[in-house]
Amino acid sequence: MTASPSHLDLLESESIHIFREAAAQFRKPVLMYSIGKDSTVLLHLARKAFFPQPVPFPLLHVDTKWKFKDMIAFRDRTARELGLELIVHTNEDGIKRGINPIDHAPSIHTDVLKTQALKQALDKYGFDAAFGGARRDEEASRAKERVFSFRASGHRWDPRKQRPEMWHLLNGRLGTGETVRVFPMSNWTEKDVWRYILREKLEVVPLYYAAERPTIVRNGQILMQDDERLQPREGEKVEMRKIRFRTLGDYPLTAAVESDAETIEAVVAETINAQTSERQGRLIDHDQAGAMEKKKQEGYF
């Protein structure tokens, strides 16, 4: 170590501290693993927090069945190579009802296949704490989020029940029926995530790198045709474009950007020079005013 730690060193130490506080205070934690770059960093920090012991909790992936194929392959390989327990949960009831992101409004799809599915999974396994990769810099409604974010029975976020956090003291004593979401990366920014991926030489899903991919332009956004379920509508056509993704989610709801960044260095350079903040590419956020706020109250995060 040099005499003066860099900001990434400080952020890393803080995240490790949070992981350890949560693991020590909660009975049955789980890591919400969404396969994207933030989850990649989150998982890496968890491994550091408990080294040389293996990560002492499982990963949970809420699978909507609309993730990019590359994401699922990456997920399974990561869990296998690191010897981690992976729990995949899908809201089968929602699938049976035919809920999907192409025919339904993104808000309905997200509520049924993400929010409800996550609650089902947490209840099914009895997890009392769930680690997530959310960051306060992502958007305004998260700017006030706590590191330990409490949920009343039914996973509801009650603003009046959020606990003040002072100094480095994290109070994890649960009241009856309460669970908690833990955000070890609260103080990271998007740029930090990329710089850290580069510094730590972390592997990310190839979709973050530019490649020629089949695309459809819809409502001014570039979508990737990841499988046959997404078909061009009248006036649209499938065209090859060199694209990459700044965030990853359900493929019909995730807009790509045209890019030549084929390497991690090029992606980081593009991010650091970015002229727009990252959530512009996430369609669910534009669906309705205060969308994230509402989803949070409903338990999406």
Partner 1 sequence: MSVHALHKHESIEKAQPHLEVVPNLVRELGGITHLLTCGSVDDGKSTLIGRLLWDASDLYEDQRENVRRSGRKAAGTDLPDFSMLLDGLVAEREQGITIDIAWKYFDTDTRRFVIIDSPGHEQYTRNMASGASHADVAIVLVDARSGVKKQTKRHTAILDLVGVKHVVLAVNKMDLVGWSEDVFRKIEADFRTLCWKFNFWDATAIPLSAVFGDNVSAASENMSWYSGPTLIQHLEKTPSRVSEAGSVFRFPVQTVLRDGLDFRGLAGTVTSGSVKVGDVVVDTLSNASGKVIRIATMDGDLESASAGQAVALQLDVDIDVSRGAVLSAPEMRPVAAQTVEARFVWLSEDEFSPTAGYLLRTSTDLVPISNIEIKGLLDLETMASRPARACAANDIAIAKISLGRAAAIDVFTETPETGTLLLVDSITGATMAGGIATSVNSKAEQPVDGHFVLKRDMLANGLNRDLSMSSKDREEFMRRANEVAIILRSAGVSVAIEPPPPLDDGMDPGL
Q: Which residue ranges make up the site for partner 1 (CB under 8 A)?
A: 1, 4-14, 16-17, 20-21, 23-24, 47-53, 136-137, 139-141, 143-144, 159-169, 171, 173-175, 178, 186-187, 189, 191, 195, 198-199, 265, 268-270, 272-277, 280, 293
Q: At its nearest, how many Å lie between partner 1 and the CB of residue 221?
A: 16
**Residue placing its CB nearer to partner 1 in the complex, 21 or 250:** 21
Q: At its nearest, how many Å lie between partner 1 and the CB of residue 70?
A: 24
Q: At its nearest, how many Å lie between partner 1 and the CB of residue 127?
A: 17
Beta strands in the chain (DSSP E): 29-32, 59-62, 86-89, 129-131, 148-151, 179-182, 211-218, 221-224, 239-244, 257-258
Q: At its nearest, how many Å lie between partner 1 and the CB of residue 282?
A: 15
Helix (H, G, I), strand (E, B) or coil at 162: coil
**Residue placing its CB nearer to partner 1 in the complex, 218 or 279:** 279
**Residue placing its CB nearer to partner 1 in the complex, 287 or 293:** 293
Q: At its nearest, how many Å lie between partner 1 and the CB of residue 214?
A: 27
- Give the residues across from 131 on adjacent strands: 31, 182
Cα angle for residues 291, 113, 19 (degrees, 5° grid): 75
Pairing of strands 179-182, 211-218: unpaired
Q: At its nearest, how many Å lie between partner 1 and the CB of residue 77?
A: 20
**Residue placing its CB nearer to partner 1 in the complex, 228 or 289:** 289
Q: Is 154 left (phi over 0), alpha (psi -120 to 50) or beta?
A: left
C-alpha to C-alpha distance for 16 and 35, rounded to whole angstroms: 20
Q: Is the peptide bond before 52 cis (omega within 30 degrees of 0)?
A: yes
**Residue placing its CB nearer to partner 1 in the complex, 222 or 292:** 292
**Residue placing its CB nearer to partner 1 in the complex, 1 or 96:** 1
Q: SS3 helix, strand, coil % of the chain, rounded to 5?
A: 40, 15, 45
Give phi and psi for 164, each to the nearest 5: -60, 145
Task: Dig out the tokens for 187 from the structure.
Answer: 């103080």
